[in-house]
Amino acid sequence: MKKLIFNLLIVSGIIISCNNQNKTPDIQASKQPDSLAATKENKKVDSTVPNTNAAFPIKDILSGYFSLKNALAKDNGNDAAAAGNSLLSTLNKINTEALNNEQQKIYAGLQDDLKENAEHIGKNAGKIEHQREHFEMLSKDLIDLVKTFGNGGQTLYKDFCPMANNSKGASWLSEFKEIKNPYMGSKMPGCGSIKEEIK
């Protein structure tokens, strides 16, 4: 009898302590914070270094985006997913404290969308059309990002295909002049035209 009670007490203790972690869903935290409080690093900005766009890894982001784009253009969902995941890690490492107020505001408005689109692309290796839907939103975000943070020192081309996105049209950024459509892939690789050169 003593042994039984002892066993029951141990089991109860384990159950209660394990489950206290599940107690209350945090109802207040439902809103996605687009503030920068999430940044954990407390890097001190070196006052001798000018606060240029070098603080923001636009080159790495663009590079990740281009890998993604090129994979979609080749109808390769697996490579696109890998590129999406890689882009997401780049985005997660960004330290916004080195940016000026204006840049912080703009990035704050885009960061959640960028990350979520990259994440969805990363998770949908087998559903290339779904990846392309998210790529459309991601491209809009990248285009806005480039407006604020620059082109990373390379000439970029803003392309547009009127047939993509259920014929509503969709844009993308490219690092080369040739049209290699990420939305249509091998079905119609040349569909689209350059709308803007970003030097």
Partner 1 sequence: MKIIKRILLILAVGFILIQFVRPGKNNNTNLTASDITNTLHVPDSVLSILKVACFDCHSNNTRYPWYANFQPVGWFMANHITNGKKRLNFNEFGLLPIRRQQSKLKSIASQINDNDMPLPSYKWIHHDARLSDNNKKLIIEWAERSMDSLSQKN
Interface positions with partner 1 (CB under 8 A): 4, 7-8, 11-12, 15-16, 19-20, 22-27, 29-32, 34, 109-110, 112-113, 116-117, 120, 130, 133-134, 137, 140-141, 144, 168
Of 22 and 101, CB closest to partner 1 = 22
User: Helix or strand or coil: residue 126?
Assistant: coil
User: Helix or strand or coil: residue 160?
Assistant: strand
Half-sphere exposure of 175 (CA within 13 A, CB side): 15
How big is the chain by its Cα radius of gyration, in Å? 23
Of 27 and 37, CB closest to partner 1 = 27
Taking the C-alpha atoms of residue 168 and residue 86, their distance in angstroms, rounded to an integer, is: 29
Of 110 and 189, CB closest to partner 1 = 110
Query: 156 with 173: CB under 8 angstroms?
Result: yes
Instruction: List the beta bridge partners of residue 149.
Output: none
Of 19 and 42, CB closest to partner 1 = 19
**Which amino acid does the sequence have at 171?**
S
Work out how close the CB of 111 gets to partner 1 at its nearest, in angstroms, rounded to a whole number: 10
Work out how close the CB of 144 gets to partner 1 at its nearest, in angstroms, rounded to a whole number: 8
Of 8 and 49, CB closest to partner 1 = 8
Work out how close the CB of 24 gets to partner 1 at its nearest, in angstroms, rounded to a whole number: 4
Q: Could you tell me the strand order of the sheet in which 170-174 lies?
A: 170-174, 156-161, 193-198
Q: Which two tokens stand for residue 64?
A: 């990740």
Q: Which two tokens stand for residue 55?
A: 């603080």
Of 125 and 179, CB closest to partner 1 = 125
Work out how close the CB of 1 gets to partner 1 at its nearest, in angstroms, rounded to a whole number: 12
Query: 130 with 124: CB under 8 angstroms?
Result: yes
Instruction: List the beta bridge partners of residue 197.
Output: 157
Work out how close the CB of 64 gets to partner 1 at its nearest, in angstroms, rounded to a whole number: 18
Work out how close the CB of 50 gets to partner 1 at its nearest, in angstroms, rounded to a whole number: 29
